[in-house]
Amino acid sequence: MSSSSGVHHPFISEGMPLPGGQFGLLDSRLDFRRLPSPFPYTLALPQERAEALLEQQALELGATILRGHEVTGLSEGPDRVRVYLRTPDGPSRIEAAYLVGCDGAHSTVRNNSRHQLPRHSVHRARLARRRRPR
């Protein structure tokens, strides 16, 4: 998160900074306070609230948010992107200077972009079960 843009202020005011913690199978606790960062912590904030804050800021900056629309393809020009959509009213096409794809792990936006991003899952969970000695 950029500290120069100020986008972080509402998140920090509503979230709970966690300066350290136990992660996974590590034997020791992590201490983020030692990191050379303006944000030396993990910020606990429910995803629903984080999404609402992002939406609010995007709208304040003039973004248009389309829900219920499926991106079926896109083509990129030097300063615009043309996006092909399936909408509740049928096929459509829009052009924009920027496109933010929030369309999940199998992102049509990512798959059709010239700017390929590495694929990896950031959410992993492990569940272990073992018997206690009697």
pLDDT, position 124 = 52
Query: By C-alpha distance, which of 133, 122, 65 is closest to 99?
Result: 65
Task: Please give the Cα distance from 134 to 123 (Å, whole number).
Answer: 35
Residues 57 and 73 both lie in one domain? no
Task: Please give the Cα distance from 74 to 134 (Å, whole number).
Answer: 61
pLDDT classification of 116: cutoffs 50, 70, 90: low
Instruction: Write down which residue in 36, 63, 90 finishes a domain.
Output: 63
Residues 58 and 3 both lie in one domain? yes
* This prediction's pTM: 0.65
Q: Is the pLDDT of residue 31 over 60?
A: yes
How many percent of the chain have pLDDT more than 70?
81
* Cα angle: 75, vertex 101, 97; to 5 degrees: 50
Per-residue model confidence as pLDDT tens digits over 39-75: 999 999 999 999 999 999 999 989 988 888 989 999 9
Q: Could you identify the residue written with the tokens 């609402």? A: 52
pLDDT classification of 93: cutoffs 50, 70, 90: very high
Per-residue model confidence as pLDDT tens digits over 97-111: 988 877 777 788 888
- Residue range(s) defining the domain that contains residue 90: 66-117
pLDDT classification of 132: cutoffs 50, 70, 90: low
Structure-model confidence comparison of residues 129 and 60, the more confident one = 60
pLDDT classification of 21: cutoffs 50, 70, 90: confident
| Structural domains in the chain (count) | 2
